[in-house]
Structure 1
Amino acid sequence: MIYRPSSGSQVFHVPHTEEHVAVWKPLPHYAGESLVTGEAVFIDDMPRYQNELFLAFVTSTKAHANIVSIDTSEAMKVPGVVDYIDRKDVPSANTFGLVTKDHLLFAEGKVLHYGQIIGAIAADTRETARKAADLVKVVYEELDTVFTIKEAIEKKSFFEFSSEIKKGDVEASVKLAEVVLSGELEIGTQEHFYMEPQTCLVIPKQERNEVEIFASCQGTNGIQAEVARILGIPSNRIVAKCKRAGGAFGGKSIDSVYGAGAAAVMATKTGRPVRCVVDRVTDFRFTGKRHPVFASYKVGCNKTGKITSVDINFYVNAGHCLDTSEFVILKGLPQISGCYNFDNFRAKGQVCRTNTPSTTPVRGFGAPKMVFIIENIINDVAINLKIDKTKVCQFNMYREGNETPSKMVLKNFNLPRCLKECLDDSSYEKRKQYVEIFNIENRWKKRGISVVPIMYPIGFPPPALNQAIALVHAYLDGSVLLAHGGIDMGQGMNTKMIQIAATELGIPIDNIFISETSTNTTPNATNTSASTGTDIYAGAVKNACEILAERLKPYKTANPDGPFKKWIEAAFADRVSLSVSGFFKMKDKPYDFATHTGDICLYYTFGAGCSEVEIDCLTGEHQILRTDIVMDLGKSLNPAVDIGQIEGAFTMACGLYTTEEIHLDKNGRISESGPVNYKIPTVRNIPREFKVKVLKDTENDLAVYSAKGTGEPPLLLAITVHHAIKEAILAARKDSGITGNFQLNSPATVERIRMACKDKITDKCEKTIGKDLQSKILLY
């Protein structure tokens, strides 16, 4: 396959504003220069303390077994080794969790998955600690295992949780349908693959059990609260800090507690600072992944493509503990209908228990799987009825004022506009004809093109998570120090917070500095996740700056020409406080998961995408030739940052749907260990033409400065790539005399594409090694 350099375009509108207004402008990333030059300081870049220890984990080499004995004698003989800890050394709670406290810091009597943390070794260097950890001998008594969803269904290995959502009469309506289709889907897992692995530095103080923690995390409050539980001390003795996280994607919502908790136990036991930087292989094997899903469905429709009945059953693999898996189902059920209005609809989800790492939040938190299911149903209807998929989308799409399955009324419904502009901008109809001609003229190269509309809910259903705090200090030289409870993980949150502060205070952005996020400046801050971070912390920053501006108003009136420094000096002379705490909460109604009523979100972000793909029928390789995306972001706070988020999210999800696959060997060990054998998207996987457009002249009166959440919604648009691949495979199968629909699971790897194309070579392969190429490997 021939590769050519990628090109693209980014189209957005910058409203005309006064000079002091910094919001809505495409300003550079606040830390961009220091990040690309290597000057940005991460935890492992921080100077070493003279008596600092390094922590390495001792992990299980069995997936399910009783621990008969642990022998640390050889490890402790290694020069430089200081101590070993496990469950017996934990002062208080050995459990933690974001929702359900069922994560184990250290294994208790048995191991529940391969790679589970049993203990930890502290030594004077990381090399010594890792060498010693490998020398710890654990004797096991093996127990029965369950690895996959299908095994869990067969063995009835479930958590005691299930939920469903219903609308209309599914049973009656399917009997009246002109066409009834059914099918199954499997959607694999995904590794977060953040650039910075799980990392922390814990510094014990000599006075009154004080502890300082630097953690790469998504919420300092979570680190503070969980470590306080583990150590059995009040939260006010712990200060947790995070200047930046080197990527997270949900993987540092919960799993960052493993390192911080273990290092804190070791630090308090030895009285010495402890640093823990998990190596990539270990990180792969004990941290959580995206939830794998198995779904079956039955759909009824008429011959024009209008769907009259949808019935879905799906199972998610929670791993060895429940953690947030119930919320993947509870939040996913209202999203599984996608952007379509079905009169008769039912979906039921169940949670499987397996001997694998606990699946955990990943960017999109269930939505990429739920929407993949419904979009495949839409696609199957189109294929079976021989109707263009966009027509089926339009027949069934919501309209302004419709009610979702969660009984939320849709307002400012800009999705039809996104879809229309995407179809027009991409020249979909014309290019579809070119694709058909190309496929007629080429036997071993085939193309496909697909369009998908999406709507993504922004805001947590539990109202307690939709609140934020910020702190603003103004100094006598006119500079401003800003702190907020959010974590900048590269998504540009700090950039937007500075823009808001500069706009509210009417000062240059260079006058404002953000140092770090810390529990002693912004306490009780919620996790930065679910694309809500900018919304809620923008509100808190705006509130704090408004209060400060109001305090400065008399001095600004007396001296209109300023500058800002003079107003600060005058206020200080008048003994006016120049330190302000700001607070914000979203205006929402509590959502009742039992009845599926209330506000499942504050608002929706809308978008549409079109992707054209070319596959090599002989190798299974694919190339995205072109992708067009149109997103409704309200009035983007920073279109340059947001377009980067759109491009990044789309590319990440291309990995989910096409290249990223995790396998377990017969012992339950994750086979992948890094980029050599885990295929994240690279420069060759991005579209050769990548065109992103932000919808013009839209408003969102439910968020600060009329902006919309951006980080997660574009993930769903990568479904267009999977569907385009399937269209190309259908063309290849047609040339082999095979017609009709077929199941293409996710990810659509080179193996799946090649075998699905069906020819004499694949027939021989199937006869030789069996129909399933993964027959010797357990697919996780």
Structure 2
Amino acid sequence: MSRKPPAQDPSQLKHESAVGHVTGRAVYTDEQHPPQGLLSVWPVTSPHAHARVLRIDVAQALAVPGVATVLTAADIPGENDSGTILHDEPVIADDVVSFHGQSVAWVVARDEATARAAAERVRVEYEPLPPILTIEAALAADAFHMLPSQIVRGDVEAALAAAPVVLHGELHVGGQEHFYLETQASWASVDSEGVVQVTASTQHPSETQAIVAHVLGLPANQVVCRSLRMGGGFGGKETQANPYAAVAALAAWRTGRPVRIKLERGLDMRMTGKRHPFLGRWRVGCERDGRLRALDVELIANGGWSCELSPPVLSRAMVHVDNAYFCPNVRVVGRICRTHLPSNTAFRGFGGPQGVIVGEEIIEQIARHLGLPAHEVRERNFYREGQATHYDQPVTGNHMHELWQQALERGDFSARRAQVAAFNAAHRHSKRGIAITPIKFGISFNKTEYNQAGALLHIYTDGSIQLNHGGTEMGQGLHTKMLAVAARTLGVSAARLRIMPTSTDKVPNTSATAASTGADLNGQAVKAACETLIARLRPVAANLLHGDADQVEFSDDAAFLRSAPDARVDFVTLVKAAYAQRVSLSATGYYRTPGLRWNPATGKGHPFHYFAFGAAVCEVEVDGDTGVHRLLRVDILHDVGDSLNPGIDRGQIEGGFVQGLGWLTCEELRFSDQGRLLTDAPSTYKIPTLGDVPEDFRVRLYIPPTPPATAAVFGSKAVGEPPLMLAIAAREAIRDAVAAFGGDPRRVELGAPATPEAIFRAIDAVRETSARSDPLPRAQEEASGRRTFSHG
């Protein structure tokens, strides 16, 4: 019997929506065909960051032709709350507004233009109150969400007292706008059975379903939430999509007509939360060779007006301040400031980047103070076999040492350091810098219960397959990977599979597609469902092939016996035979990550399934007259295990790095002294463009010498978030270039983000330092004969 060519390798599948993306045929939430009677909404927002709402008069707005209703807090039949951790986040403000741009009413009208015009006629009387906007102001006012948390290992004070070198300093880290291409959008309608149908641009359909039900006072089984695909999310649609879906559902419930909501760019930027700004304060004790002995860190986050996701964001920052480095004595204290800004939220890395950059700042300051090469100090402090983190999780599967050496070699680090030094000696007004930084990032949700997923598969009698899973697609290629997992497990071509929009009536009680767990969790659930179907089909195939069931294999759209691979039963024939024998062709799959435990009270446990590792070498050139930098070359080596799709993974690494580059070099949020976001458009908020992408961008997937003992589906590893933190190498390369303009290399202060203005100020500072006879002020020598030094 002739054998047909093997089916396409599932790992080489193209992105399932690629053609739709480039042709414009891919449909997003706001682009669905509008149903008859569609209404649109527009918000009435507060011009104050903090004020009492004394009176709302909607009479003039209701008089506008085409206005169906005006919604206020009084119109909510259930609970006026969209908070996910604490119930402190009203969907529509009632008696107090807590940030500039908070909604106090929503106009529902025949079209957006009418709703917008009518919103101008809503009269609101306020009593302004003093706002708290910054971390410093919140500290002074003792304004916090929740109590401080801490993680402690060893005796930090004793270790600091005994350390030969003690440094201290602080670092302010800016926030970041998600700037997803598709802004917040939802549709809602109420069907003839009274079921609320919601289509939302959400990363967490189950949570959106729960919030809508909560607001309307309905049971969850009376609300269905779907997610077609998102035009980007990055964490900004994990919880922040919920209030807008709730408003659309409330409007549909009140009017009996379908309702659409989509924020225009300026509104979206003013009304939604960002990456948390952080203040890191630190003391570190080390040996004279740079080895860490004690680390005392305080991480303070600007949470905004409500609790939102700030506690788990802070928790992840606290457990990532070590990055790839072992320290025997550690104390990390975390606090969340309550300010009158939009509630800050999840953003790619979920607090991890803020913790990692503080840790990297500390390592860099140690190296510069001691006059040692920073890459050597980093490597000297890497976790070794058998060592555990400050939260008591052993660092297993640690390929950091081998990966680091490969990154140095492939990035030509030693030779290029010499070339950079030669360039700097020959150029007065421009300097180059080079740096390498690592990443060790824990993979799993902070909250153990979220580490579960479900899937639902149907095989039809014509051999076609419908695949449902609980993850959401936002351009990251999750659906493509799920198709690959199903095709590989079932032994069929991906062309047989159709993946469905994520829906709570197909796969309930799902977790958010977040924390880099989308493929890990949902992939295992899909695999489990496929394995259930294979187990049912195997005896049917054995009967058709006249063999034993344990000899049956599946590949290339057929079943065969290992002992006689040329005798095959095609998949369609097998499925028809199974149906004739009354074998169920539908199956659910379920997965929960094993071995996880976490005690938030003590900050101890085993919160992560495994760690992802990577390293980046960056080379920059800085103009000393303007502070403008060019990223000349980037070499990234990243551990993705046995990749489910190398093409998609490379794209995620490139995109994550560039997004991190924006956070650390050009994206700066500016607020007025009254809390209004001033950088609320692409003209004022600068995300990286094509001109900011490295001129020479090299990305390689790391292949470990031995397969990881702990990974995810088919030995793959997560790739969504860790690469963002590799952009820290670009900031350190900029610092290296700034140092070359003169001054004492023991002290080079650089902002985060390192905008041209920040770089220029840093250059001025090192030039001024070089002009002084005593370049580095020193603290009084301690009785022990040691010196303590201030950095920050």
Q: Distance in 1 between matches of 2:426 and 2:686?
A: 32
Deviation track 1:129-169 (CA, whole Å, cap 9, x = no partner) reads 12222332211101111000011111211223211111221
1:562 alignment partner, SS class? strand
Q: Which amino acid aligns with 1:278?
A: L
Q: Which amino acid aligns with 1:496?
A: K
Q: Distance in 2 between matches of 1:759 and 1:320?
A: 36
Pick the aligned partner of 1:662 from 660, 669, 674: 669
Asked whether 1:312 is paired with 2:297, we answer yes
1:95 alignment partner, SS class? coil
Pick the aligned partner of 1:755 from 733, 750, 761: 761
**How many angstroms does 1:383 deviate by?**
0.7
Q: Distance in 2 between matches of 1:327 and 1:462?
A: 8
Q: Distance in 2 between matches of 1:619 and 1:81?
A: 53
**How many angstroms does 1:329 deviate by?**
2.1
CA contact (8 A) 2:370 2:746 kept: no
Moved more, 548-557 or 63-72: 548-557
**How many angstroms does 1:231 deviate by?**
0.4
**How many angstroms does 1:228 deviate by?**
0.5
Q: Distance in 1 between matches of 2:602 and 2:208?
A: 33
Structure 1 runs, 4 residues or longer, greater than 6 Å off: 759-763
Deviation track 1:606-652 (CA, whole Å, cap 9, x = no partner) reads 11111011111111111110111111111011111011000000000
**How many angstroms does 1:359 deviate by?**
0.6
Pick the aligned partner of 1:179 from 165, 177, 186: 165
Residue number in structure 2 paired with 1:227: 212
Pick the aligned partner of 1:746 from 730, 738, 752: 752
Asked whether 1:710 is paired with 2:716, we answer no
Q: Distance in 2 between matches of 1:100 and 1:641?
A: 37
Deviation track 1:395-437 (CA, whole Å, cap 9, x = no partner) reads 1110122111111112221111111110000010110111111
Q: Distance in 2 between matches of 1:154 and 1:762?
A: 32
For structure 1, the 5+ residue unaligned runs are 1-17, 764-780
Residue number in structure 1 paired with 2:469: 484
Pick the aligned partner of 1:103 from 89, 95, 117: 89
Pick the aligned partner of 2:411 from 426, 430, 450: 426
CA contact (8 A) 1:26 1:641 kept: no
Asked whether 1:502 is paired with 2:487, we answer yes
Residue number in structure 2 paired with 1:548: 533
Q: Distance in 2 between matches of 1:298 and 1:242?
A: 46
Moved more, 643-652 or 344-353: 344-353
Q: Which amino acid aligns with 1:594?
A: A
Pick the aligned partner of 2:121 from 135, 150, 173: 135
CA contact (8 A) 1:20 1:502 kept: no
Q: Distance in 1 between matches of 2:615 and 2:89?
A: 38
Pick the aligned partner of 2:136 from 150, 159, 163: 150
Q: Distance in 2 between matches of 1:79 and 1:355?
A: 36
Asked whether 1:436 is paired with 2:421, we answer yes
Aligned length: 741
Pick the aligned partner of 1:517 from 478, 502, 512: 502
Q: Distance in 1 between matches of 2:210 and 2:426?
A: 63
Q: Distance in 2 between matches of 1:517 and 1:27?
A: 21
**How many angstroms does 1:739 deviate by?**
5.5
Pick the aligned partner of 1:584 from 581, 591, 598: 591
CA contact (8 A) 1:29 1:492 kept: yes
- Residues 263-662 of structure 1: matches in 2 within 5 Å? 263-557=248-542, 558-559=544-545, 560=560, 561-662=568-669
Q: Which amino acid aligns with 1:574?
A: Q
CA contact (8 A) 1:98 1:253 kept: no
1:667 alignment partner, SS class? coil
Residue number in structure 1 paired with 2:554: none
CA contact (8 A) 2:442 2:610 kept: yes
In the superposition, relative to structure 1, how do residues 760 and 92 fare at CA in structure 2: closer, same or farther (>3 Å)?
closer
Q: Which amino acid aligns with 2:627?
A: G
Moved more, 267-276 or 66-75: 66-75
CA contact (8 A) 1:163 1:329 kept: no
Q: Distance in 1 between matches of 2:507 and 2:145?
A: 36
**How many angstroms does 1:462 deviate by?**
2.6
Asked whether 1:70 is paired with 2:90, we answer no
In the superposition, relative to structure 1, how do residues 461 and 259 fare at CA in structure 2: closer, same or farther (>3 Å)?
closer
2:521 alignment partner, SS class? helix
**RMSD of aligned C-alpha atoms?**
1.6
**How many angstroms does 1:692 deviate by?**
0.8
CA contact (8 A) 1:463 1:588 kept: no
**How many angstroms does 1:330 deviate by?**
2.1
Residue number in structure 2 paired with 1:15: none
Residue number in structure 2 paired with 1:721: 730
**How many angstroms does 1:346 deviate by?**
1.2
Residue number in structure 2 paired with 1:699: 707
1:548 alignment partner, SS class? helix
Q: Distance in 2 between matches of 1:738 and 1:179?
A: 18
In the superposition, relative to structure 1, how do residues 573 and 116 fare at CA in structure 2: closer, same or farther (>3 Å)?
same
Deviation track 1:634-677 (CA, whole Å, cap 9, x = no partner) reads 10111110110000000001011111111111221001122111
Q: Distance in 1 between matches of 2:7 and 2:390?
A: 44
Asked whether 1:33 is paired with 2:19, we answer yes
**How many angstroms does 1:565 deviate by?**
0.8
1:591 alignment partner, SS class? strand
Q: Distance in 2 between matches of 1:224 and 1:525?
A: 11
1:249 alignment partner, SS class? coil
Q: Percent identity?
A: 39
2:394 alignment partner, SS class? coil
CA contact (8 A) 1:184 1:743 kept: no
Residue number in structure 2 paired with 1:54: 40
**How many angstroms does 1:760 deviate by?**
12
Pick the aligned partner of 1:84 from 65, 70, 76: 70
Q: Which amino acid aligns with 2:94?
A: E
Q: Distance in 1 between matches of 2:256 and 2:586?
A: 35
Pick the aligned partner of 1:206 from 161, 180, 192: 192
Pick the aligned partner of 1:168 from 154, 170, 187: 154
1:566 alignment partner, SS class? helix
Pick the aligned partner of 2:106 from 96, 120, 127: 120
Moved more, 723-732 or 551-560: 551-560
Deviation track 1:350-409 (CA, whole Å, cap 9, x = no partner) reads 111100000111110001100000100000011111110011111111012211111111
Q: Which amino acid aligns with 1:158?
A: F
CA contact (8 A) 2:150 2:603 kept: no
Q: Distance in 1 between matches of 2:608 and 2:536?
A: 35
2:157 alignment partner, SS class? helix
2:597 alignment partner, SS class? coil
Q: Distance in 2 between matches of 1:160 and 1:237?
A: 34
Residue number in structure 2 paired with 1:5: none
1:185 alignment partner, SS class? strand
Residue number in structure 1 paired with 2:548: none
**How many angstroms does 1:348 deviate by?**
0.7
CA contact (8 A) 1:21 1:502 kept: no
Q: Distance in 1 between matches of 2:214 and 2:9?
A: 42
Q: Distance in 2 between matches of 1:97 and 1:701?
A: 38
CA contact (8 A) 1:149 1:315 kept: yes
